[in-house]
């Protein structure tokens, strides 16, 4: 398995533009997580899906952020409009099962810079 | 509710000397505990995990951690540091029976001097 695949790896955009980050989880994994990592705030959980259904989106910062999981093999995180404070590394992770004992497999991350 | 505290933001050791990265947790549930490692510009990778079996857990690359319920600790150790161990390490606590409240520590940056 190629692991969790994220794209793009790097994105530089201007304030106000729409940004879409993509994630392909490991085949057979039924839980998917989006995290944001910054120096100031560390790793923050944005949203968690189980069986393609959003279970916890309390970490989504505001209405500018939205996430979808139309099927078991694909998820998107969209920021519209983007702002400089959204600059961060965004990680997608997947796991098999919905218990806390399950290991998360992380993608390599998408580094977003908003000018 | 759950929380995890990594007691040191930065640890520096010499190559060949022991490593100790400290983690304390708080959990209202029976916890699962994990250590993940993040090398520069990479995603996080699992080092080891504790669920409910042996309290001394062995992981990859010679790392191990001991679950001490009385001290609410899950410290990460390695007998002899290698240059390739230089990275950021994250302690994670999660309720054992659901994914809804997984908490990451702030991370400990390990530097290994030659």
DSSP for B17-47, please give it: S-EEE-EEEEESSPEEEEEEEE-TTS-EEEE
Provide the chain A residues 68-97 that lie in CB contact (below 8 A) with chain B: 91, 93, 95
Least Cα distance to A74 among A27, A37, A19 occurs for A27
B19 band by pLDDT with thresholds 50, 70 and 90: very high
Query: What is the structure's pLDDT at B101?
Result: 77
- Please state the φ and ψ torsions of residue A64, each to the nearest 5 degrees: -70, -20
Q: CA nearest A78: which of A27, A31, A34?
A: A34
What distance in Å separates the CA atoms of residue A51 and residue A111, rounded to the nearest whole number? 27
Would you say residue A1 has pLDDT above 70? no
Q: Does A100 touch chain B (CB under 8 A)?
A: yes
User: For the segment B89-108, what is each residue's pLDDT rounded down to a tens digit?
Assistant: 999 998 877 766 788 999 99
Between A and B, how many CB-CB pairs are < 8 A? 65
Tens-digit pLDDT profile for residues A3-19: 999 999 999 999 999 99
Q: Are B94 and A100 in contact (CB < 8 Å)?
A: yes
d(C-alpha B35, C-alpha B93), whole Å: 9
The predicted model gives A35-47 an average pLDDT of 92
Minimal CA separation from A78 to chain B, in Å: 20
CA–CA distance, A49 with A56 (Å, rounded to integer) = 7
- Name the percent of chain A in helix, strand, coil, to the closest 5: 5, 55, 45
Give the integer Cα–Cα distance in Å for A68 and A66: 7
Q: What are phi and psi of A3, to 5 degrees?
A: 85, -170
Instruction: Give the Cα separation of A90 and A6 in Å (integer).
Output: 9
Would you state the pLDDT for residue A2?
78
Question: Which of A41-45, B23-27, B38-42, B52-56 comes out lowest in average pLDDT?
Answer: B52-56
- The residues near A66 (Cβ < 8 Å, ≥ 6 apart) are A60, A77, A78, A80
| Cα angle value A36/A38/A40 (rounded, 5°) | 130
Backbone angles phi, psi at A84, to 5 degrees: -55, -35
The pLDDT tens digits of the residues spanning A65-97 come to: 999 999 999 999 999 999 999 999 999 999 987
């Amino acid at each position: 398995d190629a692991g969790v695949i994220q794209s793009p790896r790097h994105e530089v955009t201007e304030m106000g533009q729409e940004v879409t980050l993509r994630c392909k989880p490991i085949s057979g994994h039924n839980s998917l997580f989006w995290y944001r990592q910054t120096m100031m705030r560390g790793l923050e959980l944005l949203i968690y899906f189980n069986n393609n259904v959003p279970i916890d989106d309390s970490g989504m910062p505001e209405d500018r952020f939205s996430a979808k999981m139309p099927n078991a093999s694909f998820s998107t995180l969209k920021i519209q409009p983007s702002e400089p404070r959204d600059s961060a590394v965004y990680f997608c992770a997947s796991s098999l099962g919905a218990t806390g004992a399950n290991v998360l497999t992380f993608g390599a991350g998408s580094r977003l810079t908003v000018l | 509710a759950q929380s995890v505290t990594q007691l040191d933001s930065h640890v520096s050791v010499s190559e060949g000397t022991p490593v100790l990265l400290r983690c304390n947790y708080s959990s209202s549930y029976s916890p699962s505990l994990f250590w993940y490692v993040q090398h520069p510009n990479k995603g996080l990778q699992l080092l080891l995990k504790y669920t409910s079996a042996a309290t001394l857990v062995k992981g990859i690359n010679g790392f191990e951690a001991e679950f001490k319920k009385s001290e609410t600790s899950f410290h990460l150790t390695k007998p002899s540091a290698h240059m390739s161990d230089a990275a950021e390490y994250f302690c994670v606590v999660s309720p054992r029976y659901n994914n809804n409240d997984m908490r990451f520590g702030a991370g400990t940056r390990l530097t290994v001097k030659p």
